[in-house]
Amino acid sequence: MKNFCVHLAVLVFLFDSNIAFNQTKNSFLGWTGQEVIPAADFYNASRWTTNAEAGNECSVTAGDTSLNIHWKMAPGTNRWVQCYYVFDEPVSLMNVDIFGYDMHGSTCPAEYPCHSNQLIEIKFENGPRQASITRWGEDAILCVDRWINKLFLHKYDNDFYIPDEFNWDSVTVISFGIKSYPWGDNIEADSGVVSFRNFVADSVGSWTRAVEIDTLAIHPDTLDKIKRGAIDYILNRQTETGLLTTWIEDGLSWLYGQGLALKALCMEGEWMNGDPVNAYAEAATNLAHFLASNQEPEGYWPRAWNSYTGNIAVLHENDGTIWMGDFPWMLTGLYSYFKKSEDCTVMPAVQSGTDFIKSLIDPNGKLYTLNVLNGQRMEVTSSEAYAAVIGALLELDETDMAEALISYIHNAAWNEQLKYWQEGNYSDRVVLFTNTWLGDILYNRGYETEALNALSLAGRLMYTGGPGEPYGLDGIGPVAVWYEGTLSYIVAGGPGSTGLFTSIRHYINSDGSIPHYNDDIGGVAGIWAEKWSSLDGTSWLYFTTAKTSPFKVLETAYLAECVNDLGINRFRSDRIQFYPNPCPGVLNIEFNEYPQEPIRVVILDLNGKVVSKHLLSKPIEKQSINISELSEGLYIIQCSCRDYVVTDKLFKR
């Protein structure tokens, strides 16, 4: 085999010539790489030697286009089989940083529904030294009975074990193996066939990166027609509870999609004097009122409800924590609703959620979540969660705190070697949402080059066709086309977006929705692939065709008037305390920071009707108002002046 560096030089020339491998003819989507083992050897079974732990079996067959490993595991744990290839002469892989391969699994026997405890291991040897990486074990990827193209590994992945003394300039052996490890009680005998092809490597530094975002070049009439179909589909997903059904198949409404779709409905909704005047505004009002009335006391929301009863289906993560990638979308959606409708009844929920999320952020921008089972704060390590929180804070005009989070997660998760945002500050995986969400938010906040670099890398590594067409991107794989993630890439202006949209627009359902995935292989490879119509994906389809982003802060002339008149730009519950609450008659209002101008106190019922007004003109720290004339029940109290507005729940007994 010729020295690998020679092949890389040829590859750089090919990329500079904009010769791309993918069907959209865009040099920013997909990658080819250079073969690591000559094809004549890779597809020659006699060049491979098998090895297995005692009691296990391994054999190799090969055709013109695949290397097939037949494996059989005896009962027990920590089992392994492998086949390995010995180079005629040592080869250099020093100047490459990414490896890719195609993989084909086999149908799992009925008695073993998935190979959930089998790991794929790829190992490089340099004399007695070994560099290895194991992947795809817990996600049952070995049960995907079709080709998955261009799965990738990179040297900077913290799952890649590379000894300090390992010499990439002199690799002598490469092996492919299957390892079994304990997973619950799954220690039964198991067997299957896994095939590999196109084992390649490349230098990411040679890849062209975009220098500007891709503005969607589709005829406006086409976009408007698709947008109308998407928003009407969202409208039709609403149940009598006000919730939008995420999946018809299970009848659940998941948190993230409610906030995302609420913002879409608000963008189409119209209100007059606080009253909804079109169907989108009515739907937004119904959803916002449900969300405002079904918040947990601490300020967060459940992860999922039953769409038709409104009962909680999933309160929190399995470990008791609040998933911060979902929860902040409630604040984004509810405050967008308030900006369009000026419906003060949702403000206590917004204020409570804002206080909750701010309590989980350190001054340096480090983010935490809450374990509701034991009350402990736990560090958030997901860059995607940071993006969701940053988006909500920007919507709430908490700019300083948002900038602190931006600075923290950029420093913690930016990978300078490959130039992308890692999955988190402890995980080096390349994840689509992390890079599309952060790229979208940060492009106009001083990180233009980083955003374009990250989007360019995501476009290359996540590009896939799945089981056929259309072509698009996947979240971690690439295993199948994830429509929602692909649309988030297009909204962010990722390179090749116009070609991607052209590919997927023909697969929009006749009811205006878009599928979740273009395959129905269930939960494998870190994804959940079903062809179900997706509320979340359809919401992203709306934003794509509206040529805007859910991360774009909603600003209207109506909001500007609201800000000027009421000072609605902060929610500072620490400024004012109301007590007793519940209140029998005389309510005390105590100010920690009393402004030098009059304060208006307004009490509203849950329909938004003003039932009591007061003007506090004396600048003293403690004052009282009489509310004895009010009936027992729940009200909204709002104190406002030129500088701020504070809104809270008030119980009259």
**pLDDT score of 77:** 66
Most confident of 64-78, 173-187, 467-481: 467-481
Does 259 or 576 have the greater pLDDT score? 259
| Distance, CA of 297 to CA of 301 (rounded, Å) | 9
Range with lowest mean pLDDT among 69-78, 93-102, 135-144, 276-285: 135-144
pLDDT, average across residues 95-118: 77
pLDDT, average across residues 234-244: 97
Query: Is residue 578 scored above 50 in pLDDT?
Result: yes
DSSP 410-452: HHHHEETTTTEE-SBTTB----HHHHHHHHHHHTTTT-HHHHH
**pLDDT score of 107:** 77
Cβ atoms within 10 Å of 499's Cβ, excluding its own:
20
**pLDDT score of 9:** 35
Query: Is residue 3 scored above 50 in pLDDT?
Result: no
Q: Where are the domains of the chain?
A: 4-206, 209-230+430-552, 572-652
| Residue 614 pLDDT grade (very low, low, confident, very high; cuts 50, 70, 90) | confident
B/e letters for 196-227, b = 16+ CB within 10 Å, e = fewer, are bbbbbbbbbebbebbeebbebebeeeebeebb
Cβ atoms within 10 Å of 9's Cβ, excluding its own:
13
**pLDDT score of 140:** 76
Return the percentage of the chain with pLDDT > 70, whole number.
Answer: 88
pLDDT, average across residues 417-428: 93
Its pTM stands at: 0.84
Beta strands (DSSP E) in 220-367 are 252-254, 271-272, 275-276, 304-306, 312-314
Query: Is residue 10 scored above 90 in pLDDT?
Result: no
Paired tokens of 363? 């001054």
Query: Is residue 14 scored above 50 in pLDDT?
Result: no
Does 107 or 375 have the greater pLDDT score? 375
* CA-closest candidate to residue 406, choices 464, 466, 447, 461: 447
| Residue 46: partners with Cβ closer than 8 Å, 6 or more residues away | none
| Residue 22 pLDDT grade (very low, low, confident, very high; cuts 50, 70, 90) | very low
Query: Is residue 649 scored above 90 in pLDDT?
Result: no
| Residue 436 pLDDT grade (very low, low, confident, very high; cuts 50, 70, 90) | very high
Beta strands (DSSP E) in 509-630 are 514-515, 522-524, 527-529, 533-534, 576-579, 586-591, 599-604, 610-616, 622-626
Residue 140, sorted as left (phi over 0), alpha (psi -120 to 50) or beta, turns out to be left
Contact (CB, 8 A) for 265 and 341: no
CATH topology of domain 4-206: Jelly Rolls (2.60.120)
* CA-closest candidate to residue 301, choices 357, 262, 246: 357
Contact (CB, 8 A) for 353 and 299: yes
| pLDDT tens by residue, 214-237 | 999 999 999 999 999 999 999 999
Query: Is residue 1 scored above 60 in pLDDT?
Result: no
The one-letter amino acid code at 19 reads: I
**pLDDT score of 211:** 95
* CA-closest candidate to residue 364, choices 382, 385, 379, 384: 379
Q: For the chain, how are helix, strand and coil distributed in percent, rounded to 5?
A: 30, 30, 40
CATH class of domain segment(s) 572-652: mainly beta
- The alpha helices in 483-637, defined as continuous H runs, are 483-491, 497-504, 535-545, 557-566
In angstroms, the Cα distances linking 261 to 232, 280, 317, 549, 587 are: 11, 11, 22, 12, 38
Range with lowest mean pLDDT among 15-19, 41-45, 221-225: 15-19
| Distance, CA of 521 to CA of 39 (rounded, Å) | 30
| Residue 454 pLDDT grade (very low, low, confident, very high; cuts 50, 70, 90) | very high
| pLDDT tens by residue, 114-156 | 555 678 899 999 989 999 988 755 567 888 889 999 999 999 8
Does 132 or 574 have the greater pLDDT score? 132
Query: Is residue 32 scored above 80 in pLDDT?
Result: yes
**pLDDT score of 559:** 44
DSSP reduced 3-state for 125: strand
Question: What average pLDDT does the chain have?
Answer: 87
Given this chain, do its domains 4-206 and 572-652 carry the same CATH topology?
Answer: no
Does 95 or 525 have the greater pLDDT score? 95
Paired tokens of 646? 């504070």
CA dihedral sign, ordered 504, 509, 510, 511: negative
